[in-house]
Amino acid sequence: MKKVKSEVSAKSFGNGELFIVSGPSGVGKTTLCRKLGASVPRLKHSVSFTTRPPRKGEINNVHYTFISKNKFKTMIDKGVFAEWAVVHGNLYGTSAKKLVEISKFGYDIILDIDIQGVIQMRRKFKNAVYIFILPPSMKILEKRLIARMSELTREIKNRLEKAKEEILNFRNYDYIVVNSDLKKALGEIKAIITTQRLRTAKVDLKVLKRFKIKNLALKKKR
């Protein structure tokens, strides 16, 4: 299967902020991103494609866009994905076109992806904001995985072992959020989003426009 490199890049993405959320399976990253996309102004949750079957209660194009493996592989060949990875035997990917389209409408984007995808995205989006979600403990993570009632005992064990490896990567992220309480975790990520939006580099041009200042070279920060 010939792999075609995606054309998406920081330049094609535009001026929108990109928030990338990652963490072990079962930590709640998809729930967090979905709720943030629905409640934070000018923020859209980019829904990933996956070949795994929907779990109970999951809605197509809300939690994930569910497609066949053949269609996913065809999309890889066409360079559709900004990133894609094999996670626990299933394929997951982020549409490059969708990211560009959302950005052109003036939205910031939040997406949840696997650590393999984060490595790919860092090559293209060095200025994106990377947020790692931790569980309160491995015991609680195990309980959350069991509560899904969709994985076999062996699969849950594999995911817990993988989680231990993934947690070792937390230093590669800009922010850490412990999802011990959903409301608290949502508040902390909202604070991160607000902080990034208020950075000088993001508001310089807006300030000049508001005060009708033109042709003024912005001084570099000391």
Q: pLDDT for 24-68, tens place per residue?
A: 989 999 999 999 999 999 999 999 999 999 988 889 998 899 999
pLDDT tens digits along 143-178: 999 887 666 788 888 899 999 999 998 988 999 999
Number of H helices, E strands in the chain: 9, 9
- Give how many domains the chain has, as a whole number: 1
Q: For residues 56 and 108, which has the higher predicted lDDT (pLDDT)?
A: 108
Domain assignment present for residue 151? The answer is yes
Using CA atoms, how far apart are residues 111 and 120, in angstroms rounded to an integer?
14
What proportion of the chain, given as a percentage, has pLDDT over 70?
A: 82
pTM surpassing 0.85? Answer: no
DSSP 83-106: EEEEETTEEEEEEHHHHHHHHHTT
In a domain, 100, yes or no: yes
Contact 173, 22 (CB under 8 A): yes
CATH number at residue 195: 3.40.50.300
Tell me whether residue 91 is in a domain. Answer: yes
Q: What is the pLDDT of residues 118-138, one digit of tens each?
A: 999 998 898 899 999 999 999
Residue 157 placed within a domain: yes
Indicate whether 132 belongs to any domain.
Answer: yes
Hey, what are 60's tokens? 């197509």
Instruction: Provide the domain limits for residue 50.
Output: 17-202
Residue 1 lies in a domain: no
Q: Is residue 110 one of the residues assigned to a domain?
A: yes
On whether residue 97 sits in a domain, the answer given is yes
